[in-house]
Chains A and B, each alone.
Chain A
Amino acid sequence: MNQVPLVFLGLVAAVAGSFYGAIFLPHHAVGRAELEYVDDTGAYYPAPRNGLAQQGAEVYRAQGCVECHTQQVRPKTLGSDVARGWGRRRTIAQDYAQDNPVQLGSLRLGPDLTNVGKRQPSSLSNLRHLYNPRLVVKESYMPRYEYLFFKRKLEANEKPSLNALPADTEAGYEVTPKPQALALVAYLQSLSADVPLFSAPLPVAVTNQVKAPSLTQKP
């Protein structure tokens, strides 16, 4: 090992090998997935986000929400995600086909947001939560995103404007969302991954169970 070119070539081979294994193989396996036609909804999945939600995705990225929130649901057997109601099925590569950048996240200081649009559909509640998370979830230690809102002290007997948050949000102040806050909420509302797919079906709810006939006769 006294030859620099030898070490260099060995390094290139090792690194190229790992590139093949860790990037090329996965790309071959999932990177070229097409949109999938879903019979149940009669549409291709995943559908692109609307314009406001797409802007909201940029706000989500810029604020670094991914530092504390994941967007992935593990399979039922590997953790409590499904049992917690964070999703009805696991997420698969298909679910992220329209996302750029993909914000999977690796740390859950806050709950998973894969299906937050289904779980928390109310705009008002989402806005209040962004303004001061403690108004909605008492024990939360999520930071306040006050700077996504206009805040103005109200004169005596002045009424807040129509698009302001309810008066109990901050007493004596008029709090109105900035466009970024509205976009972010639109993005959060657009988050859901519970369309049944071929490789990630939804669990079928069994309702009208037929009782098995009893083998022993009642006395």
Chain B
Amino acid sequence: MGDTKHISQSASVVDPDRIDRSCRWPVVLLFTGAMSWLIIGLTMGLFSSIKMHAPGFWAQCEWVSYGRLRPAFMDAVLYGFAAQAALGCSLWMISRLSRVELRLSGIAGIGALALNAGVAFGVLQVLAGQTTGFTWMEIPRQGASIIVGGYALVALSALYTLHKREEKQLYVSVWFLLAGLLVFPWLMSLAYMLAVVEPLRGVMQAVVNAYFVNGMTYLWLTSMAMAVAYYLLPKVTGKPLRSHDSALLCFWTLVVFGGWSGLSLMADGPLPRWLLGVGVGAKWLIIVPAAAFTMDCLYTWFAGKTSANEGVAWPYVLFGSLSFPIFVLLDILSTIGPAPRTLLFTTYSQGILHFAVFGFAGLLFMGAIAHIWERILGGRFPKRLPFIAHLLLSLLGIVLISGSYLLGGVSVGGKLADPSVAFTAASSTMTLFIRSATTGYLALLLGQIILAVALLKSFATNTATIRAEFFQWCCGGRSPGSDKKARARA
């Protein structure tokens, strides 16, 4: 870090519009892919939920049987939507926060295409019955390696841009982005290596899987979503972040406890008790980053006068960031005292995961997509109505899905804990909750379609100038380097 480029001088050199333009195509590609996979994934989720209360629905078709559709849904949402949305946000946020144009944008574009191809291939593999049988790792190794490769290419572009940064100070979001960019390829390759390619013996495969699921939730998804929250919070409130120290505390405690809590997912499983205890203890300590994050958000939000609130993103940021402490508390509650005896193996854990993926990370990513889309395409959204509709439908969907799974888990778990109640009698009470979850999936899906249409419309209105620029970009005419030369010549 020997160079002494100064913030104030260089900041005036690169104007934000140029930065936005430089990351336009890779980011549009990633966000388009993200929204498409979200819609495809939620359609599969809706179908799988219908199949739960109507077991005869499409029963003849092997490819859409419940046991294949369900993992395909989660994989499409995680690797298709969440990964791409997170990568799109990272590219743009890192360029903006480094005050330089995006570097290696062509490589990022190729990475985005590879990622989409990998998810498509992987989801088809799962539907064809080639699943590995591990939660969130159902995509077989071929599809997964394409996904990791694509992710790494996009991450390379982001990291190289960060390396060439003009702004010396690393903003809070950059720490979280670094974590998210590095942890994903690391977790994927490690987990696939130890559970699929060269599988460890016996129950260790389940341990690796638990570590993976927990790491993907707390290290990767949470880091990415927090980066978005820490970036957008000052933007939508028009106030600087209240405390960098508490953000620092949040970051380090999250990356330490988030990894160690892996074994808590194996609660009461076939492992020595002390190992499970370590995992549960670490999970309780996640309350520390959750508290630091929440305090920071609330202070920033409510202290002093809010000046902005102009854009479409602020309600997403508000609801998304407040979902994190709720998600952590729900997760911790299920490990305290006698709770696992009733909540374990019920839909309660599904409720938590849906809340984390759609409520916390999903809302923040959607807010960021709307915020960034306006800027990279250079035109404000003409109407706010679609966003209000999207937000309301999404909130309704998230509350219905997570609420049904959580309450269903509590109710069925309570009955199952009593051995005199027959299993069928207990599980048939689940039908009501699954029906309301189906309604939730429908609402969530409708909301996403509305958002996708709004984004497409805004894309179409800017299409004339954009198309020309896209062809230029494809032909390699306009790279940041050539720009610099042009400026030097001028």
Contact = CB atoms under 8 A, between A and B. Distances in A.
Q: Which of B67, B215, B248 has the most CB of A within 10 A?
A: B67
Contacts of B175: 1, 7
A2 interface: yes
Interface string A143-175: 111110000000000000000000000000000
A201 interface: no
B211 interface: yes
Contacts of A32: 201
Contact of B200 (A27, A63, A75, A107): A27
Interface string A115-148: 0000000000000000001100111111111110
Interface in A45-89: 61-68, 70, 72, 74-75, 78-80, 83-84
B275 A26 contact: yes
Contacts of A15: 183, 186, 219, 255, 259
A138 B427 CA distance: 13
Interface residues of A, number: 77
Q: How large is the interface on B (under 10, 10 to 19, 20 to 34, 35 or more residues)?
A: 35 or more
A100 interface: yes
Contact of A147 (B62, B163, B194, B210): B62
A72 B269 contact: yes
Nearest to A61: B133
Contact of A29 (B138, B275, B341): B275
B202 A97 contact: yes
Given A141-B55, A143-B59, A17 B259 contact: yes
B132 A101 contact: yes
A11 interface: yes
B355 to A, nearest CB: 16
Contacts of A64: 65-68, 70-71, 131, 133, 138
A11 B349 contact: no
Contacts of B190: 19
15 contacts: A1-B175, A2-B1, A26-B204, A26-B275, A64-B67, A64-B138, A66-B133, A67-B71, A78-B341, A80-B419, A101-B132, A102-B202, A102-B205, A108-B416, A145-B59
A18 B268 contact: no
Given A2-B170, A14-B256, A141 B52 contact: yes
B169 A30 contact: no
Contacts of B168: 2
B382 interface: no
B314 to A, nearest CB: 27
B417 interface: yes
A63 B68 contact: yes
Interface of A: 1-5, 7-8, 10-11, 14-15, 17-19, 21-23, 25-27, 29-33, 61-68, 70, 72, 74-75, 78-80, 83-84, 90-111, 133-134, 137-147
B65 A143 contact: yes
Contacts of A25: 275, 278
Contact of A95 (B134, B204, B256, B270): B270
Contacts of A104: 203, 206, 266, 269-270
Interface centre among B66, B130, B169, B190, by most chain A C-beta atoms within 10 angstroms, is B66
B345 A107 contact: yes
